[in-house]
């Protein structure tokens, strides 16, 4: 929050580097939940570090948190299946997805996979219906 001092007419804003540090930490989490970084917090609107502003805390003051190892479900583990094993596995399930992966992120140990929306195929067991969604530009 901006700091207010009686002798100044306006609040002291955070430094641009503080904004960038916060954005770097928060933006991926916000994005994972479908929220963009707010325009009102665009870091370019804050003063450079050499101006009167609130800088980031010393890196020595931060506690180092060990990086959490992401949990990977059995179906997602890379077990180097060959084509026959994939077909056999498909036949044991009601449907299968074929997608191009746009992004993989890890939040609180869970894996979030964001597919490319331009190309996906859904194979259904009943009649092996193929649904292909592709946009050509």
Domains and CATH numbers, the chain: 16-61 (1.10.2000.10), 74-134 (no CATH)
With tokens 């870091």, the residue in question is: 43
**CB of 122 closer than 8 Å to CB of 97:** yes
Candidate from 43-57, 79-93, 94-108 with smallest mean pLDDT: 79-93
More confident of the two residues 134 and 137: 134
Residue with tokens 């450079």: 48
Beta strand ranges found along 2-136 (DSSP E) = 95-107, 110-124, 130-134
Band (pLDDT 50/70/90 cuts) for residue 71 is low
DSSP state of 11: P
Pair 123, 129: CB distance under 8 Å: yes
What are the tens digits of pLDDT across the range 50-65? 778 888 887 555 455 5
Cα separation, 72 vs 40, whole angstroms? 36
Q: For the whole model, what pTM was predicted? A: 0.40
pLDDT digits (tens, 9 = 90+) for 19-44: 999 999 898 888 888 889 898 889 99
């Amino acid at each position: 929050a901006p700091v207010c001092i009686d002798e100044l007419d306006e609040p002291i804003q955070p430094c641009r580097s503080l904004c960038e540090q916060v954005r770097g930490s928060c933006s991926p989490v916000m994005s994972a939940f479908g929220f963009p970084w707010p325009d009102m917090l665009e870091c370019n609107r804050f003063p450079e570090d050499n101006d009167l502003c609130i800088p980031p805390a010393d890196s020595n003051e931060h506690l180092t948190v060990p990086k959490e190892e992401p949990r990977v479900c059995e179906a997602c583990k890379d077990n180097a299946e060959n084509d026959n094993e994939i077909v056999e596995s498909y036949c044991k399930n009601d449907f299968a997805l074929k997608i191009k992966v746009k992004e993989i992120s890890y939040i609180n140990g869970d894996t979030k996979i964001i597919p490319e929306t331009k190309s996906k195929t859904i194979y259904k067991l009943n009649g092996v219906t193929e649904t292909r969604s592709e946009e050509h530009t």
